[in-house]
Copies of this chain bind each other. A is one copy, B any other.
Amino acid sequence: MIRTLVREIQKKQAPIVVGLDPMLDYIPSHLKKAAFAEAGETLEGAALAVWEYNKALLDAVSEFVPAVKPQIAMYEQFGIPGLEAFKKTVDYAKEKGLVVIGDIKRGDIGSTSAAYAVGHIGRTQIGESRISAFGEDFVTVNPYLGSDGVLPFVKVCKEENKGIFVLVKTSNPSSGEFQDQKIGERTLYELVGEKVAQWGEECTPEGCAYSNVGAVVGATYPEQGRILRALMPKTMILVPGYGAQGGKGADLVHFFNRDGLGAIINSSRGIIAAYRQEKYASYGETGFAEAARAAVLDMKQDIAQALG
């Protein structure tokens, strides 16, 4: 799957992933009004608004970006109907030719991680049948439980040609509380980064410069990005925190390799709620999808300039 992701990044000349984190606050009021009129102020009503919002966004941006990253928490908060909207979003994005990164941050002990892995990127054995439950292409994985929490995902990556991104240095303000702690000469995030590189060794497709085991490193920590880039040369880095969380184009250069590849930058709010920014206000609330498209094109230019 990493080969597909790299190819699509190159084809679309955009190392960009659009984060589909549909908080109700971001969804334009005409969509919410219509959804609530049809299904009430219920989990079903919220899920309907989410789905209509995502569909319009996917229609607007899919030709310009290689990938989308739905954040499952934003669907899970709406219960079963919300998770149905998640699944519909995954399916629709794949129909549009996009690579889908499920931002699920799962991680557990062996047999339980295996259940998450088959459920999200593999197929679940039921009697004689093997059935795909959620069907993402990549998922994000939490490393706190160590190798035996991560390797079941790696196993499914190999079997099904899928990929993962392991949390290494996250974009949030308190990520340093544990991740930056010094263990001898190294920090915890460096130790995790080394493990990511190791897990990736056995999961690199023939002739591909990158592995199916990627890493998450926040745009908000460019210096750590530089260190981790050197430590994990064959690792694709998924970089959240650009835009609304404060990461700037110029900070991103540290996350890329000299081949101009090796990182994919996520923006969520900055794109899907672009219509709420002064810069894109002229699109109006009903023009939210066109505003998102304009924000994607601006982001593409910002990154190209920074890398140029």
Contact = CB atoms under 8 A, between A and B. Distances in A.
Contacts of A128: 41
A285 interface: no
A142 B112 CA distance: 15
A41 B126 contact: yes
Q: How many copies of the shown chain assemble into the complex?
A: 2
A119 interface: yes
A171 B109 contact: yes
Contacts of A15: none
Interface of A: 21, 23-24, 32, 36, 41-43, 45-46, 71, 73-74, 76-80, 82-84, 87, 105-113, 115-116, 118-120, 124-129, 131, 133-134, 142-149, 167, 170-179, 181-184, 188, 191-192, 195
28 contacts: A21-B112, A36-B127, A42-B126, A43-B124, A43-B126, A46-B124, A46-B126, A73-B108, A74-B115, A76-B115, A76-B120, A76-B133, A77-B115, A79-B87, A79-B119, A79-B124, A79-B133, A80-B83, A144-B167, A145-B170, A146-B172, A146-B177, A146-B179, A147-B174, A147-B177, A181-B188, A182-B183, A183-B188
Contacts of A144: 142-144, 167, 170, 178-179
